Amino acid sequence: TYNPYLENVTKKHSKHSSTAFKVYDIDGNAQNQPGQQGRNRPVFPAQNRRREAGHNDRFYDEQEYERRVRKRRARLLVATEEAFTHIKRLHDEQSPAIPMDPNEAAAAVFPSLARALQKYLRVTRQQPRYTMDAVLSHLACCISHDMSPRAFVSQYLTQGAVVCGNEQEVKSTERWVLVCEQLLTRELDNRMVFQLKKGPVSLLCTVTKIPHFSLTEEMLHPKSNKFVLRLNSETSV
């Protein structure tokens, strides 16, 4: 039998081989040969496509992660603002509700924002750093000092490098190495830069002169440090 495609096998094979390899002229004899420059094509184009697909996948994964973080962050801010609207400070007025101290007020409004906070800490991988007691203590402190909802969540929104995240790892004596261009016997000056090193941790410190503060004392009346909940038909706490 006659196979009409048999004559084209070598042509197709040579065509594919020219695209899979890059040809180099070492002796310099093929400069004037026609078609030689057209064979100098990238090596393994399939590998280049896989490399492009790899960084594209990473780009979309990071974009999706940032979208999830922004979504959880927005829900946490809204839940915190709604929780803080349920708290009202008493100023020696009579109220039918039972007055509560800051710790009791924090425990009362915490369930309304606990789910949003837990999901945000989970997606940002901060959940092992904070316990429920630590969050309640921070919330009670913010309520006691009339701080805004944004001030409460700012501790969880911006995170720096954690040198020692567990209190059990704190030792009485820590050995650090100080690196500075100035002698240690000299006094600290404004804008002086030095470095502290301990194992893989390196801290770059800048000395800044603080301004002069004029402080006045203002007493907080114990009776004014009481709170009540603003309850209505739509309150979820």
Q: What does the pLDDT look like over 210-233, one tens digit per residue?
A: 888 888 887 777 666 677 777 665
Structure tokens at 234: 């739509």
Predicted confidence at residue 17, as pLDDT, reads 47
Which pLDDT score is estimated for 114? 92
| Whether 90 contacts 101, CB under 8 Å | no
Give the pLDDT of residue 57: 82
Q: What is the model's pTM? A: 0.55
Q: How confident is the model at residue 18 (pLDDT cuts 50, 70, 90)?
A: very low
Higher pLDDT, 33 or 67: 67
Tens-digit pLDDT profile for residues 80-112: 999 888 887 765 555 566 778 888 888 989 999
Give the model confidence (pLDDT) of 164-211 as tens digits.
555 555 667 788 899 888 887 888 888 888 999 988 888 888 898 888
- Residue 125: what pLDDT? 87
pLDDT at 160: 59
Mean pLDDT over each residue of the chain, to the nearest integer: 76
- Residue 119: partners with Cβ closer than 8 Å, 6 or more residues away: 72, 75, 76
Please provide residue 226's backbone torsions phi and psi, each rounded to the nearest 5 degrees.
-120, 150
Position 14 scores a pLDDT of 47
Share of the chain above pLDDT 70, in %: 63
Residues 83 and 237: beta-carbon distance below 8 Å: yes
- Give the per-residue pLDDT at 171: 66
The helix/strand/coil state of 208 is: coil
DSSP 234: T
In angstroms, the CA 216 to CA 161 distance is: 35
pLDDT for res 16: 46
Q: What is the pLDDT of residues 126-158, one digit of tens each?
A: 888 888 999 999 999 888 888 889 989 988 987
Burial class (CB in 10 A: 0-12, 13-18, 19+), 18: middle
